[in-house]
Amino acid sequence: MTTEHLAEVIFRSSDPQDQRVGDIVSVVSSVPKMGGVACVVLGVPQHIGVERNHGRPGAARGPMEIRRSLYKLSASSMLDAILSGAMQLFDVGDIETTGKTLEQIHDELYDIVVDVISSGGIPIVLGGGHDIAWPTMHALITLRRQFGVVNIDAHADVRPLHDNVRAHSGSAFRQLLTIKNSGLVDKGLIEFGLQSVSVSAAHLKYVADNGGQVLMLDEIRDRGVFPSFRDAVDSIISSQMYVSLDMDAFASAYSPGVSAPSADGFTPAEIGQCLRHVGRQKNLAAFDVVEVNPDFDIDGRTSKLAGVMIMQLLSGVAERTKLHH
């Protein structure tokens, strides 16, 4: 892990009346002892898996641009929780990716996620391509946590590995379902927001045949986004929960800077409410935000949206600590 380059993007307010996230985050060079509810930001600046999946490169710059926006945001919604010590926010920096294979990067990500969770923290992983979902799930499996997954995404990401061994940005949940069938995992995968124009019939069938659940965008809208999401979260309440947010789940009007933009999709209002709910859940084990591609962004719109969505989740975490006090 490396944190040296973070100084550039950690906004510090000079005004005690105007505390930003950059004022309250603790940059640490290794996973610290943690108390209360601790969230740990870490970045995976690569797009190797995107390129393998024939996507357009650029997501490697995602973690830095998300931080640039996140740390400038007001900390108001979690300031009390932070000041009371009930909640902590760390940034352990980025995995050093230069010159490494995707497999090496995934191994390091796996190690740090195991470390964060073992130490009592909730990893908030900044992608990078969606391939990084697998090392997180692998870590949960190793730690023998029973967990369910909610993947907020336009795509199913259940494509086969290349040559049966090489993961890519469209394969993470295939990796999960393959393992799942081995009996190692018994909790579900919920694919939330898939679009029929973005997923093949065979892949939809694959998810269903392997015990996953698909909630298509159109169905979700018919029932209401938040009620559908709340039910998804409720269905995994007895185990731990991992939530993955692919930024292409949003309509590209809101999220133009992604590897594969979606003409239709969720609004920030819809997903913000869902993530606040996620943050409130005691069983939240891990979260990530993936596929921000700053090369195609417009005036930082997508990075800002990623930052705002992380803050919705952190606000929920802060509320939870308040309820416990």
Interaction site with a second copy (CB under 8 A): 15-19, 69, 73-77, 79-80, 159-160, 195-204, 206, 218, 221, 251-254, 256, 261-265, 267-269, 272-273, 276, 296, 298-302, 304-305, 307-308, 311, 315
- Provide, rounded to whole angstroms, the least separation between the CB of residue 38 and a second copy: 21
Place of tokens 């990084």: 132
Phi and psi torsions of 193, nearest 5°: 100, 15
Please, which residue, 61 or 145, has the CB nearer to a second copy?
A: 61
- Provide, rounded to whole angstroms, the least separation between the CB of residue 156 and a second copy: 10
130 C-beta neighbours (distance < 10 Å), count: 32
The type of residue at 26 is S
- Provide, rounded to whole angstroms, the least separation between the CB of residue 60 and a second copy: 19
List the beta strands (DSSP E) in the chain.
26-27, 37-43, 87-94, 121-126, 147-152, 189-194, 213-216, 240-246, 284-290
CA gap 162, 171 in Å, rounded: 9
Please, which residue, 87 or 185, has the CB nearer to a second copy?
A: 87
- Provide, rounded to whole angstroms, the least separation between the CB of residue 157 and a second copy: 13
Please, which residue, 59 or 204, has the CB nearer to a second copy?
A: 204
Please, which residue, 83 or 184, has the CB nearer to a second copy?
A: 83
> Could you tell me which of 228, 287, 299 has the C-alpha nearest to residue 257?
299
Phi and psi torsions of 294, nearest 5°: -60, -25
Query: What is the secondary structure of 146-164 as a DSSP string?
Result: -EEEEEE-SS---PPPBTT
DSSP annotation of 168 reads: -
- Provide, rounded to whole angstroms, the least separation between the CB of residue 111 and a second copy: 32
Please, which residue, 103 or 218, has the CB nearer to a second copy?
A: 218
Please, which residue, 114 or 260, has the CB nearer to a second copy?
A: 260
- Provide, rounded to whole angstroms, the least separation between the CB of residue 104 and a second copy: 28
